[in-house]
Chain A
Amino acid sequence: MVSKEEIEHVAKLMRIELDDHAIHIDRVQKMIEYLDILDRAIKEITEPLIVNEQPLENLREDKYEPYNDKLIDKLKHYKEKFIRAPKMV
Chain B
Amino acid sequence: MNLGISALEYIDAIKNGDFTIEEFVSETFDRIKKVDDKLHAYLSLNEKALDQAKELDKKRKAKEKIGACMGMSVAIKDNICVKDTKTTCASKMLEKYVAPFDATVIARLRKQDTLFIGKTNLDEFAMGATTEFSAYGPSKNPWNPEYVPGGSSGGSAVAVSALESIASLGSDTGGSVRNPASFCSIVGLKPTYGLVSRYGLISYANSIEQIGPMARTVKDTAFLLNIITGIDPNDNTTVDNHGEDYLKDIDAGIDGKKIGVISEMVGKGTDKEVSSATKKALAKFEDLGAKCEEISIDMVDYSVASYYTITSTEAGSNLARYDNLRYGFDFDLEEYEFNSYISKARKNFGPEVTRRLIIGGFVPSTGHAGKYFLEALKVKSRLTKEINSAFKKVDYLVAPTVPVLPFKFGEKLDDPVAMFLIDFNTVTANLTGKPAISVPFEISNGLPIGIQIIADSMQEKSLFQAAYALESTTNLPKVPL
Interface residue? A41 (CB, 8 A): yes
Please, which residues of chain B bring their CB within 8 A of the CB of A7? 358, 362
Contacts A10-B358, A21-B351; A15 near B417 (Cβ below 8 A)? no
Determine whether the beta carbon of A35 is less than 8 Å from that of B305. yes
Report A6 CB to chain B, min CB distance, Å. 7
Interface SS of chain B: helix, strand, loop or mixed? helix
Interface residue? B336 (CB, 8 A): yes
Determine whether the beta carbon of B362 is less than 8 Å from that of A86. no
Please count how many residues in chain A sit with their CB below 8 Å of the partner chain's CB atoms.
47
Interface residues of B (CB under 8 A from A): 98, 100, 233-234, 236, 298-299, 301-302, 305-306, 308-309, 316, 320, 323, 330-339, 341-343, 346-347, 349, 351, 354-355, 357-363, 365, 371-372, 374-379, 381-382, 416-417, 420
Of the residues A15, A77, A87, contact of B342 by C-beta under 8 Å: A15
Determine whether the beta carbon of A38 is less than 8 Å from that of B233. no
Of the residues A16, A21, A39, A71, contact of B375 by C-beta under 8 Å: A39
Could you jot down 27 A-B contacts, CB within 8 Å? Answer: A11-B358, A14-B320, A14-B358, A14-B360, A16-B357, A17-B346, A17-B347, A21-B351, A31-B417, A35-B359, A35-B372, A37-B302, A38-B306, A38-B376, A40-B302, A41-B299, A41-B301, A42-B378, A44-B382, A45-B378, A47-B381, A49-B378, A60-B236, A77-B333, A87-B334, A88-B341, A89-B336
The docked-state distance in angstroms from the alpha carbon of A28 to that of B357 is 10
Please, which residues of chain B bring their CB within 8 A of the CB of A41? 299, 301-302, 305-306, 375, 378-379, 382
Please, which residues of chain B bring their CB within 8 A of the CB of A28? 355, 358-359, 362
Report A85 CB to chain B, min CB distance, Å. 8
Please, which residues of chain A bring their CB within 8 A of the CB of B341? 86, 88
User: Nearest residue in B to A84 (C-beta to C-beta)?
Assistant: B333
Of the residues B354, B365, B420, contact of A21 by C-beta under 8 Å: B354
Smallest CB-CB A-B distances: 5 pairs: A41-B302, A38-B375, A14-B361, A10-B361, A76-B330
- A31-89 interface (Cβ within 8 A of B): 31-32, 34-42, 44-45, 47, 49-51, 54, 58-60, 68, 71, 74, 76-77, 84-89
Of the residues B98, B331, B358, B361, contact of A86 by C-beta under 8 Å: B331
B298, B374, B375: which has the most chain A beta carbons within 10 Å?
Answer: B375
The docked-state distance in angstroms from the alpha carbon of A40 to that of B306 is 12
Determine whether the beta carbon of A86 is less than 8 Å from that of B332. yes
The docked-state distance in angstroms from the alpha carbon of A49 to that of B177 is 29
Please, which residues of chain B bring their CB within 8 A of the CB of A37? 301-302, 305
Please, which residues of chain A bring their CB within 8 A of the CB of B349? 16
User: Nearest residue in A to B233 (C-beta to C-beta)?
Assistant: A60
Determine whether the beta carbon of B357 is less than 8 Å from that of A39. no
Report B383 CB to chain A, min CB distance, Å. 9
Please, which residues of chain A bring their CB within 8 A of the CB of B372? 35, 38
Interface residue? A13 (CB, 8 A): yes
The docked-state distance in angstroms from the alpha carbon of A31 to that of B331 is 34
Determine whether the beta carbon of A31 is less than 8 Å from that of B233. no
Report A72 CB to chain B, min CB distance, Å. 11
